[in-house]
Each structure stands twice: as structure tokens, then as C-alpha cells.
Amino acid sequence: MKSLLVAVSFLTRIPVSVEAATEREIGRSALWFPIVGMLVGGILLGSYLVFHLIFPALVAKVLVLVVLILISGAFHLDGLADTIDALYGGKDREDALRIMKDPHVGAMGVIAIVAVLLLKTAAAVSLSEPCFRGALLTMPIVAHGAMVAALALPYARPSGLGKAFADHRSHWDIVLAALLTFGAAFALLKFSGVGALLIALGAAGLLVSLAWRKVRGITGDVCGAVNEVAEAGFLLALTALAPVSFTACEGILPEAFWRWHL
């Protein structure tokens, strides 16, 4: 249970009371990342249903994407900016790692943030109401599952918070997190969810491969970037796989829930 609280405090700004965790507890908390994604998805869906009662659908969708940023404290967006700056501007491995550690954000990092937010917004607006509601529940699970997969790679720095994951990760934790992620995608969005999950993992995998070529490992910033790319990739893929059909998104939740207040 302590590892779950560590995962919540690591991935979100949700206030939880957690005693000082050991490196092993931090490393083993990766198993709980998809579960934290379920928590985040529940908050997003609940927020959206409230917004939908007050505002037009377009405004409600934009507001819930703002809530997504607030839940993480823009932590993942910051990692995306640092990663893109490093991959674009780093002359070699050491220079790229130095750029990632620099608190300042460069032009390419700002462009990456704007591009990801625009893509998420465009995809959210394009999705049918039932599919968007399902995506709110599923997207954080997929993104956090992608982070677990990325953490299976060696850590690029000799020290740092991410080193705990590299030193204490368990292959069984990764397998279980993957099963939870795929199971949730299928349960909530059926085959459209699994297809979008695979595309999101492919997009995140491409980013990780670029980072691997540049710094020969994973960092906390790269993990944050993986989360953002997986979220955007999942929403975009869903617009292609299930843009208007309710049955393409029908999962374990009853149809009456999805069609409520459409």
C-alpha cells in the first residue's frame, strides 16, 4: 500500500500522506502506475460531467484537459519540453543530459508543448461524446502504462530519482502493469481502445528510441515526455478508429451511462 501512495505522490499533485520511502519502495511503485491512471481518469470524467452541465461541450472538453494538466502540476509537460530541447539541441550525450537538467525551456520545448496541447484539444473535439468519456477514463491508464514500459530501460544518469526504478524494478511488475493497461483499454473501449493503445505505445516507443540514441538510457524527463506523447497518440488514434460510432467504444459501462446528458 505504501508503494501505491508513493506512485500517487510521484505522478500527481494529489495530497497524500506518505512517510519517507526507500529506494526499493520507489522502484516497486511502478506496478501501481496504471492504478494511479485509473484514479486520474475517474477525476477527469467526474470533472467533465460537472463541466458538461454548466458549459457547452467544446468548453467542457477544453476545461477537462486543463484539469489533466493541473493534476500532474504540468510535471509531464515540463519533461516533454526538456526532452525535446535535449534531443534537438544536444551535440552529444553529455550535452543532451545537461540541457535536460537546465531549468530553462528552449524554443523547441515550447513548440512541443503547444503542439501536444493542440493535438489533444483537436482530438477531444473530434471524438463523439461516448468515445470521449471512455477516453477520459482510459487515456491516463495507457499513458502511465507506457511510462512503466519506458522504465524497463537503463537509467542514463549515475544518480537521480529515476535511478531507484532502474535498480529495483521487477520484470513481473512490468508484466502486471502491462496486463492491467491492456485489460483496462479493452474493458472500457473494446477493440478501439486496444488499437489506440498500440498506436500510443508505438508513438511513445519512437520517442524512447530517439532518446536512447542520444543519451543511451531513460531519464525522468523522458518518462514525462512518454506520458504526454502516449496521451496525445491515444486520443488521435481513437479519432481514426472510433470517431462517431457508439458501439466502437462500448465497454463494460452500461450504454445508459454514456448516453446520459448527451
Q: What is the pLDDT of residues 95-130, one digit of tens each?
A: 999 999 888 888 999 999 999 999 999 999 999 888
pLDDT in tens, 183-234: 999 988 888 899 999 999 999 999 999 999 999 888 989 999 999 999 999 9
Is the pLDDT confidence value at 248 over 70? no
Is the pLDDT confidence value at 261 over 60? no
Closest residue by Cα to residue 222 from 139, 166, 138 = 166
Rounded CA gap, 222 and 208, in Å?
7
Rounded CA gap, 260 and 262, in Å?
6
Q: Grid coordinates representing 124?
A: 477531444
Rounded CA gap, 195 and 234, in Å?
9
Report the number of distinct structural domains present in the chain: 1
Please tell me what DSSP assigns to residue 218: B
Would you say 104 and 223 are in contact if contact means Cβ atoms under 8 Å apart?
no
Is the pLDDT confidence value at 148 over 70? yes
- pTM for the model stands at 0.90
Range from 160-169, 173-182, 225-234 that averages highest in pLDDT: 225-234
Domain that holds residue 142: 2-259
Is the pLDDT confidence value at 258 over 90? no
CB pairs under 8 A, 24+ apart, for 97-105? 97/156, 97/157, 97/215, 97/219, 100/215, 100/219, 100/221, 105/78, 105/81
